[in-house]
Amino acid sequence: MPQDEDKKSVAELKRLVKVLTKREIELTKAKDELEELNVHLEDKVEERTRQLKETQEQLIQSAKMATIGTLAGGVAHEINNPLGAILTNTQMLIIEVKDPDQREALKLIEEGTRRCRDIVMALLKYSRKPEFDEFKPVELNNIINDVCNLLQHQLDTENIHIKKEYGDIPQIEGNANELQQVFTNLILNARDAIKRTGDAREITIRTYRENNSVVAQVIDTGCGILKENISKIFDPFFTTKDVGKGTGLGLSIAYKVIEKHNGKMEVSSILGKGTTFTIKLLGGG
């Protein structure tokens, strides 16, 4: 009968529509899943590429630091002996000379020679390569002092004062050479930030104990960091310095060094007022 056939046709059409609708839903879902997988794949490829670039640059930077350290160590050894001779003979002359003006001149020579000797000793410590990248008990205050001695002349030339606020802190397990590099980078960054303002010229270095951790802060009175740049400050190649003035690797490497020491590094800043880098090294005895 025509009516029965029409009913069958309508029922078949409805069934086909349901099947097609179901297939369309499945295809749409599959498409969405593929797009999501594609996005994740792109993210993973991008992340792995970034990691490879970061590792490559760290290796390059490490090689540069090793070369500089070897050169500095050689130069320091060559200079150390003549400085010792100058200092010894100057001290002998101070004892023998009676004229007050001559004694005063000799004391200036003695003071200058002592300063040069301190810089040379700091260079020798900085260039010394740790065996097998070993960790051992170190005095963080002494490490920071060595860095300050090394950089003192540069800071004096820029009329930048270092204010030391050392707390009574325990030894930590660490690599002195790597920690020296961290604080060298932070202090030089602080210097550069201060030079861009021309206002208060002071870097405060503070250490203290917090529960079972040792905390160190490098606080400058420089130009500060834009709020939108704070989250990127430790990214490889990111720099707030003018073109040609920074590689964008120093803070990234410093961050990795602190992570390697089971610690963490944080930054806070007020634009136009200054920046504070805080390092917390876990496991202080």
β-strand 213-220 against 263-270: which pairing, if any? unpaired
Residue pLDDT, tens place only, 156-197: 888 888 999 999 999 988 888 889 889 988 998 889 888 887
Q: Which amino acid is at 102?
A: Q
Cβ contact 222:196 at 8 Å: yes
Lowest mean pLDDT among 47-51, 58-62, 116-120, 129-133: 129-133
3-state secondary structure of 186: helix
What pLDDT does residue 246 have? 47
Give the rounded distance of the alpha carbon of 284 from its chain centre: 21
Residue pLDDT, tens place only, 105-155: 888 998 888 878 777 776 666 555 555 467 888 999 999 998 888 888 888
Report residue 10 as tokens: 């309508």
Give the rounded distance of the alpha carbon of 6 from its chain centre: 80
What pLDDT does residue 47 have? 76
Report residue 146 as tokens: 């060595």
Four-residue CA torsion sign, 59, 62, 66, 68 = positive
Give the highest mean pLDDT range of 46-50, 72-76, 151-155: 151-155
β-strand 202-210 against 263-270: which pairing, if any? unpaired
> CA torsion, points 113, 114, 119, 125, in degrees to nearest 10?
130
For residue 278, what pLDDT band results from cuts at 50, 70 and 90? Answer: very high
- What value does the mean pLDDT of the chain take? 78
Cβ contact 283:213 at 8 Å: yes
Report the C-alpha gap between 30 and 25 in whole angstroms. 9
Q: pTM of the full predicted structure?
A: 0.56
Report the C-alpha gap between 273 and 72 in whole angstroms. 35
In CATH, what is the architecture of 131-285? Answer: 2-Layer Sandwich (3.30)
3-state secondary structure of 169: coil
Report the C-alpha gap between 32 and 77 in whole angstroms. 66
The radius of gyration of the chain from alpha carbons, rounded to an integer in Å, stands at: 31
What pLDDT does residue 224 have? 82
Angle, CA of 163, 166 and 172, to the nearest 5°: 135
Report the C-alpha gap between 211 and 209 in whole angstroms. 6
Residue pLDDT, tens place only, 215-264: 999 998 888 887 777 777 776 655 655 444 444 556 777 888 888 888 88
DSSP conformation letters of 210-279? ETTEEEEEEEE-S----HHHHTTTTSTT---SPTTT--S-HHHHHHHHHHHTTEEEEEEEETTTEEEEEE
